[in-house]
Amino acid sequence: MTSVYFYLLVGVLCAAFALRAPALLRHWRDPLVRSVSLLLPLGAAVFFFAAPPTISQVNALTGVPNFSVPLVYGIVTAASAALVNLTIIWRGGPEERRRCATRWCVGVYGAVIAAQSALFALGDASDERLRDFDTYYATTPYLREMVVLCVLSYGLANLVLARLCWRWAREVPGLLRSGLLLIVTGSVLSLGYVACKFLAIGARWTGHDWDGVSTTVAPTVSSLASLLQCVGLALPSASQGVTSLWRRWSRYRRLRPLWLTMRAVTPYELVRIPWWSSLGKRQLRRTCDIRDGLRLIAPRLDRGAEQAGRGDARPGALKPDAARHVALVAAAFAALRGTRPGQEADPSLEDMLAGDDAQLVRLSDALRVLAVLDHPSGRESGARGAALRRG
């Protein structure tokens, strides 16, 4: 695997972290948000410091041959602990049980990092190795134990992660299940990475040279596994975000007929906002304009569509050609109040003005249907349909 591929993965993980940064700032007290936000920079750090150019630079800056090895091993072990911790928090359950499991996870993997640093200090790693440290020092006292300890801790973390996510995936549906299955797939591939490392190290112990399995196959498997795990972690939250955005956009679009009618009724120009404004600001502006217009024509709505169309309602500060639009709104309001008789209380104008946007959306939908029927072409098609049904 080339060095460019290492840095490409770093860029992907940093971009994912940047997308989650606003959520981290808003919900930094949420342990799940903190765990996901911590895992992404740790993964980026693993690939950044594992790239051969970075290894060479770190060794040169510190003046210690192979100083990058305990650094990378420590970050890999910390990322493994973060994976297990994230699954514990994500899974849920009693808070005291989660805290106890988190403390055990942090304690065990913290001890592993300390042991790796101690073994590196005790061993003799005077020859700098940028790619094949694992196999080159596979028979060196203390260093071989450090390598085995790192690979074992990484494999154990992914084994626990695969087991927890597999059990959980059988209990949940939808995109959460898909995300968990992707994590399981990535964890199984990570176990393949562990197998490649042990094959190469075991070959060295028996006097053979299978270094290519460790330097070529294992990093490729590891990068693919990390990518699948990151996608699996991001899939549920990303799908929720896309679904929420789609619902907000649909609600904003469905309010358009009622909003346009209010523009045709109110005697003043509605306040416009820049086109680059966020969807939330545009939604708020649209609902405020609608409620202002409904308050203006409120005395006319209860008199019914027929009186509003004749202009029998009390005169007010409306545009001269607003009578037809007021009649349509009155008819839509009357139709809306009669849609579900006996099931629940009919929505009143006060409910629409003081409640959420759901009633306004329903009123806008009813207005859109009536506006189509009120159009000449709509009336003709409706008459033809009625004649066909009678015939």
Distance CA 299, CA 326 (A): 11
Kindly tell me the burial class for residue 127, based on how many C-beta atoms sit within 10 Å of its own C-beta (0-12, 13-18, 19 or more).
exposed
* Residue 311 binned pLDDT confidence (cut-offs 50, 70, 90): very low
Give the global pTM.
0.64
Please give the tally of structural domains in the chain. 2
Closest among 33, 83, 41, 49 to 186, alpha carbons compared: 83
State the number of CA atoms in the 13 A half-sphere of 326 facing the CB: 32
* Domain identity same for 211 and 289: no
* Domain identity same for 183 and 42: yes
Q: What is the predicted pLDDT for the residue at 379?
A: 46
* Residue 378 binned pLDDT confidence (cut-offs 50, 70, 90): very low
* Domain identity same for 239 and 296: no
- Please report, for the domain that includes residue 34, its CATH number: 1.20.1070
* Domain identity same for 174 and 120: yes
**Mean pLDDT of all residues in 4-12:** 82
Q: How many CB atoms lie within 10 A of CB 285?
A: 16
* Residue 203 binned pLDDT confidence (cut-offs 50, 70, 90): very high
Place of tokens 């569509």: 305
5 to 12, 52, 133: CA distances (angstroms): 11, 11, 20
* Domain identity same for 239 and 268: no
201 to 101, 120, 129: CA distances (angstroms): 32, 17, 15
Most confident by average pLDDT, 291-300, 309-318, 328-337 = 291-300
How distant is the alpha carbon of residue 85 from its chain centre? 19
Q: What is the predicted pLDDT for the residue at 197?
A: 92
Contact 139, 204 (CB under 8 A): yes
Kindly tell me the burial class for residue 307, based on how many C-beta atoms sit within 10 Å of its own C-beta (0-12, 13-18, 19 or more).
middle
Distance CA 287, CA 255 (A): 8
For 202, residues 6+ apart whose C-beta sits below 8 A from its C-beta are none
**Mean pLDDT of all residues in 25-30:** 74
How distant is the alpha carbon of residue 142 from its chain centre? 43
Domain termination residue (choose one: 194, 221, 246): 246
* Domain identity same for 214 and 103: yes
pLDDT at 247 over 60: yes
Provide the sign of the torsion angle of the four alpha carbons 96, 102, 105, 109, taken in this order.
Answer: negative
> What is the share, in percent, of the chain residues with pLDDT greater than 90?
13
Distance CA 95, CA 104 (A): 14
DSSP 216: I
Using only C-alpha atoms, the chain has a radius of gyration, in whole angstroms, of 32
* Domain identity same for 184 and 278: no
Closest among 127, 10, 1, 5 to 69, alpha carbons compared: 127
Q: What is the predicted pLDDT for the residue at 196?
A: 93
Distance CA 235, CA 229 (A): 10
Tokens of 18: 């940047």
Host domain of residue 189: 3-246
Q: What is the predicted pLDDT for the residue at 185?
A: 93
* Domain identity same for 167 and 316: no
Domain termination residue (choose one: 220, 246, 272): 246
Distance CA 88, CA 72 (A): 24
* Domain identity same for 23 and 170: yes
How distant is the alpha carbon of residue 285 from its chain centre? 27
Of 200-209, 252-261, 263-272, 346-355, the poorest mean pLDDT is in 346-355
How distant is the alpha carbon of residue 286 from its chain centre? 27
Distance CA 10, CA 204 (A): 31
**Mean pLDDT of all residues in 141-151:** 91
Closest among 155, 79, 159, 161 to 113, alpha carbons compared: 79
Distance CA 324, CA 264 (A): 10
Distance CA 249, CA 253 (A): 6
* Domain identity same for 327 and 241: no
* Domain identity same for 49 and 197: yes
Domain termination residue (choose one: 212, 246, 280): 246
Distance CA 140, CA 127 (A): 12
**Mean pLDDT of all residues in 349-363:** 72
Contact 52, 130 (CB under 8 A): yes
More confident call, 261 vs 383: 261
Distance CA 273, CA 288 (A): 13
Residue 390: in which H helix or E strand, if any?
A: helix 376-390
* Domain identity same for 107 and 70: yes
Distance CA 126, CA 15 (A): 37
